[in-house]
Structure 1
Amino acid sequence: MRASLTALLVALGLAAVGVYLSAFVVRQHQQALVLEFGKPKRIVDVAGLHWKLPIVETVEYFDKRILDLDTTPQELFSSDQNKLIVDSFARYRIVDPLKYYQTVRNELGVKSRVGPILDSSLRRVLGSASFADAVRDRRAQLMNMIKEQVNNEARNFGIEVVDVRTKRVDLPPQNSASIYERMKTDRQREAAEFRARGEEEARRIRAEADRQVAVMKAEAERDARRLKGEGDAERARISNEAFSQDPEFYQFLRSMEAYETALRRGDTRLVISPDSNTFRDFFRFFSESITDTKPATNVPASTAGTLKPNVALPQQ
């Protein structure tokens, strides 16, 4: 009985060891390559519990996540003969575990095999671009070009480069001052061109505004002359209607207006004969206006007397 129990325990232990050696777990961020006596047999890219032949088969795990590839800073020359110090990195993922295992096996292998490809592509692309393009104007476009060139060769290693970026692109200290001064001069020249174009546009706008003002003033003066002419005509019409009721008075009033205009200056003397019609008409109208005026009852007698002068008109 005891021997049977011992045998059962040994069998269970061997079974547990066999299960332990036969099972392997692939995590969510992993993919696995099953090897049989060191030779690739199958790829497992589904997370969960999987089985293999114990001792005969082994498992190599590879990361599914995006990995980093750092390069050492290098010096290169841009197309405008500026010496640059470039520090860059790439991000990649393993898309073919079999090729990856057969060519580079691990991250150190990626750095030793793909790193030089990245450095060569950086020198080739950035060397054909100007300093301004590399640091500002076409930076994203240049990085995409580098990524495509690296991917053309990186696929042979079972990886895909998803991004290439530069940590820094600097000038050597001895070149920085001259480059910055030249860039400053270029920016000042561009600013002067912008100002010149702005002043030209301002002159054009002012000329157009002056033309519109002249047109509006001419139209306003034309309308003013038209309105003034219409007003003068209306005034003449009303005056003619009013004066036609008493032509004699109208003639006298026009004579008085003429005298007023002539005598407007204080040092003017005018000698009129008492026999003139104007003189007689003036005193006649003046006498009639005084005769028709009655003094108020509360006005002093001396004042009232002055309102009735004895004016003798010349006989015709």
Structure 2
Amino acid sequence: MGTRKVTLLVLLVLLVAGGLSSMFRVFETEQALVLEFGRPVRTVQDAGLHFKLPWQSVTILDKRILHLDTPAQEIITSDQKRVIVDAFARFRIADPLKVRQSVGDEFGAANRLETIVNSTVRKILGSAPFTSILSPERLRLLEDIRTSVNQAASGLGINVIDVRIKRADLPEANSEAIFRRMRTEREREAKEARAQGAELAQRIRSRADRERTVIIAEAQRDAEIIRGEGDSRAIKIFADAFGKDVDFFAFYRSMQAYTKALDGEDTTLVLSPDSEFFRFLDSLEGRTDAKK
């Protein structure tokens, strides 16, 4: 009777142990692969409590998006520039069965993906000029890298979400050489700009000088024309006045001559008493009229 109880107790323990070993739990962030003697038999994507045969085993894989940092590598661009590139990728395990069959587990998947990313980055960036890595064209290059990596990794059961470049620097020696060349180019451009500015300033000054000469010449010409017209009118006025009153005209011109001749304080004139110059000093009608 005691032996029977012990046997039943042992059987009960074995049943409980077998039942417990036949259950496994999958969380929301996980997915499972059920193996039978090392051979995959089914995948489990849903979270919760699941069952298996006691002799079967379970491999848990992460369902979340995983991050992969690749080591920095030196790349030679199409214009023969050496660039140090540091990239990273974001991926997730899309097919646990393919991952198991191709690389074993998620660590093997990460190692294989690192190799694919490095080779793809080296290939695509190596076929592009250095300036494209620093320009908006960089986005197109990154999309080409992501597409190529995704195609290569799809057979591994991996879905690549994104591939990015964290850093793209020149080696120190190359940086100094490029900075020197850039400085030389900027100095040359500045010198050309100054020369062009000086040439433009000279052209402006020459044009201004020509315009000034033309304006002065035209002003002088107009002044001579106006002066000539004024002299002509003055002569006409004198002629008209002379024709209307000869005596007054002679008197007026004599007064002008007296003013000019006696303008200085120490002016001395030596003339004959009978000189016609002072004829209006003897008489308003002139000496000749007085004698008459």
Q: Tell me, in whole angstroms, the C-alpha distance in 2 between the residues paired with 1:273 and 1:93.
A: 131
Measure, in 1, the Cα distance between the counterparts of 2:281 and 2:98: 130
Gaps of 5+ in 1: 1-13, 45-49, 288-312
Deviations for 1:68-115, whole angstroms, at most 9, x for unmatched residues?
32122334545566655x351213232734577444575522331111
Amino acid across the alignment from 1:315? K
Question: Which residue number in structure 1 is paired with residue 160 of structure 2?
Answer: 160
Contact persistence 2:63–2:93 (CA under 8 A):
no
Partner-residue secondary structure (3-state), 1:108: helix
> Aligned letter for 1:90?
F
**Counterparts of 1:33-72 in structure 2 under 5 Å?**
33=31, 35=33, 38-41=40-43, 43=45, 53-55=50-52, 60=60, 62-65=62-65, 67-72=66-71
Aligned counterpart in structure 1 of residue 198 of structure 2, from 199, 202, 206: 202
- Answer yes or no: is 1:187 the counterpart of 2:186: no
How many corresponding residue pairs? 259
Q: CA, structure 1 residues 232+246, in 2 after alignment: closer, same or farther (shift >3 Å)? A: farther
* 1:90 is the counterpart of 2:88: yes
Say whether residues 1:118 and 2:111 are aligned partners: no
Helix, strand or coil at the partner of 1:206: helix
Q: Structure 1 CA distance, aligned partners of 2:277 and 2:51?
A: 150
SS in 2 for 1:233: helix
Change (3 A) 1:59 1:234: farther
Scaled by the length of structure 2, what TM-score is found? 0.59
Answer yes or no: is the 8 Å Cα contact 1:99–1:156 preserved in 2: no
TM-score (norm 1): 0.56
Flag the 1:146–1:35 CA change in 2: closer, same or farther, 3 A: closer
Matching residue of 1:211: 207
Q: Percent identity?
A: 20
Does the 8 Å CA contact 2:75/2:126 hold for their aligned counterparts?
yes
What SS does structure 1 have at the residue aligned with 2:51?
A: coil
Q: Is the 8 A contact 2:31 2:60 kept in 1?
A: yes
Change beyond 3 A, Cα 1:167–1:51: same
CA contact 2:120–2:148 (8 Å) conserved in 1: yes
1:224-263 correspondence to structure 2 within 5 Å: 225-226=221-222, 229-230=225-226, 233=229, 237=233, 244=241, 248-254=247-253
State the partner residue of 2:7: none
